[in-house]
């Protein structure tokens, strides 16, 4: 598995400060906190001020739950969204410390994976593209200046996405359907049968009737020499 950044024993890694904060999925009563391609994080409030300068950048690191991630040495080595599919991790949601101290809607969350428009745009290095599922992810915040990383939070617990149900696992047994659905299905099936029988009867009649007289299967009126209708005549 490919990995980004520096070795854990490097001086830069040893000097990296740890922020006593663990990212987590929002505990607010919101719908869609986790979906098939996104999840909503609690918005941290003013936790970076003691570790960052106003000019520093705060990034969100996103990796697969079972992947290892090495912090980049420099801003030039920051892994983009596309790295998730090759190196199993990327960095997104570039922001500043001041942006995490703004007063706003208390229900505001960080929606990871919420940008579908940039997923195929290589120029969008901060793309917050949709996440593949089914899978589990973990995240952390990383503070970087122009030289490299300065501080980081703890890793979140694994965050599983809602995976789509495989067609092989879909339960089609009628006994588990609702009574209304069974009644509607039965009525529709009966109507289809009646329509089919009616159609076949009409087609059969339209074909059989012209040939009935032709082959002597019935009687038809005969005309006498004066054009008056005579008694039925038989054809042999």
Instruction: Report the DSSP pairing between strands 109-112 and 39-42.
Output: antiparallel
| Tens-binned pLDDT, residue by residue, of the chain (236 aa) | 334 443 344 455 557 999 999 999 999 888 889 999 999 999 999 999 999 999 999 999 999 999 999 999 999 999 999 999 999 999 999 999 999 988 767 778 999 999 988 877 766 778 999 999 899 999 999 999 999 999 999 999 999 998 754 444 445 455 555 556 666 777 877 777 777 787 777 766 665 655 555 555 554 454 444 444 445 554 44
Residue 152: how many other CB atoms lie within 10 Å: 20
Provide the token pair at 118: 């940039």
What residues contact residue 47 under an 8 Å CB cut-off, 6+ apart? 19, 21, 100, 153
Taking the C-alpha atoms of residue 87 and residue 78, their distance in angstroms, rounded to an integer, is 12
> Sign of dihedral through CA atoms 186, 192, 198, 204?
negative
Instruction: Report the DSSP pairing between strands 57-64 and 89-95.
Output: antiparallel
Parse the chain into domains and list their residue ranges. 11-169, 174-233
Taking the C-alpha atoms of residue 13 and residue 148, their distance in angstroms, rounded to an integer, is 10
Q: What is the largest CA-CA distance in the chain?
A: 124
Residue 34 DSSP code: B
Predicted TM-score (pTM) of this structure: 0.65
Q: How far apart are the first and last CA of the chain?
A: 92
């Amino acid at each position: 598995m490919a990995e980004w950044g520096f070795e854990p024993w490097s001086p830069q890694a040893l000097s990296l400060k740890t922020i006593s904060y663990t990212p987590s999925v929002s505990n607010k009563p919101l719908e869609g906190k986790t979906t098939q391609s996104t999840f909503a994080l609690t918005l941290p409030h003013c936790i970076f001020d003691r570790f960052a300068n106003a000019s520093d950048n705060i990034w969100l690191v996103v990796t697969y739950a079972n992947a290892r991630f090495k912090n980049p040495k420099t801003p030039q080595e920051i892994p983009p969204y596309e790295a998730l599919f090759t190196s199993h991790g990327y960095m997104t949601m570039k922001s500043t410390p001041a942006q995490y101290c703004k007063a706003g809607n208390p229900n505001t969350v960080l929606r990871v994976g919420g940008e579908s428009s940039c997923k195929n745009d290589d120029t969008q290095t901060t793309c917050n593209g949709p996440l593949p599922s089914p899978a589990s992810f973990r995240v952390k915040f990383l503070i970087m200046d122009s030289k490299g990383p300065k501080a980081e939070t703890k890793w979140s617990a694994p965050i599983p996405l809602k995976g789509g149900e495989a067609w092989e696992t879909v339960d089609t047994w009628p006994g588990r359907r609702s009574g209304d659905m069974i009644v509607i299905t039965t009525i529709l099936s009966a109507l289809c049968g009646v329509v089919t029988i009616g159609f076949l009867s009409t087609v059969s009649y339209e074909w059989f009737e012209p040939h009935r007289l032709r082959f002597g299967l019935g009687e038809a009126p005969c005309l006498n020499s004066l054009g008056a209708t005579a008694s039925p005549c038989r054809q042999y």
